[in-house]
Amino acid sequence: MHFRVGIVVLLFVFGVTAYGVASHSMLTQDEMWADLNHVADLITRVHPDPFHSGTEIEFQQLLAELKQTTIEPMERDKFFYVINQLAVFVRDGHTFVRLTDEAWHLPARFEWVSDGIVVVSAHDESGLYFGDQILEIGGKTPDNLLEALAPIVIAENTHALKAYGGQRLASGSILQYLGLVRDNKVDIYVKDIAGEQRLVEVNLTRQPLSPTETRSWFGWHIDGDNSLGYFYLDQCANTSEYRDVLKEFFQAVKDQHVQVIAMDVRRNSGGDSRVIDEFISYLPVRRVRSHFGEIRYSPEAQEQRGYSRDKGYRRINRIYQFLGLYTLNIPKLSDATLGFSGDVYILTSPITFSSANWFAVIFQDNELGEVLGEPTGNAPTSYGDILRFTVPHSQFPMIISHKSWIRPDRSRDPSDALYPDIHVPTTVRDVQGYQDPQLEKLREIMQGKYQR
pLDDT digits (tens, 9 = 90+) for 388-443: 999 999 999 999 999 999 999 999 999 999 999 999 999 999 999 999 999 999 99
Q: What angle do CA 7, 10, 11 make, to 5 degrees?
A: 140
Q: In the chain, which residues have pLDDT < 50?
A: 1-20, 317-323, 452
pLDDT score, position 150: 97
Q: Going along 108-184, which residue ranges are E strands?
A: 108-113, 116-122, 133-137
pLDDT score, position 41: 98
Number of helices (H) and strands (E) in the chain: give both, helices first: 13, 18
Contacts of 387 (CB under 8 A, 6+ apart): 46, 300, 301, 304, 305, 399, 400, 401, 402
pLDDT score, position 326: 62
Identity of the residue numbered 174: I
For the chain, where do the domains classified as CATH 3.90.226.10 start and end? 218-446
User: In the chain, what is the straight-line distance between the N-terminal and C-terminal CA atoms, in Å?
Assistant: 43
pLDDT score, position 214: 81
For the chain, where do the domains classified as CATH 2.30.42.10 start and end? 108-203
pLDDT score, position 185: 97
Question: Tell me: domain 108-203, CATH 3.40.50.720, correct?
Answer: no
DSSP class of 393: T
pLDDT score, position 286: 82
DSSP class of 308: S
C-alpha distance from residue 258 to each of 178, 222, 261, 366, 446 (Å): 51, 8, 8, 23, 12
pLDDT score, position 21: 55
- Contact 253/344 with Cβ under 8 angstroms? no
Contacts of 25 (CB under 8 A, 6+ apart): 75, 76
What is the DSSP secondary-structure string of 336-356? GGG---SEEEEEE-TT--THH
The fold of 218-446 is 2-enoyl-CoA Hydratase; Chain A, domain 1 (3.90.226)
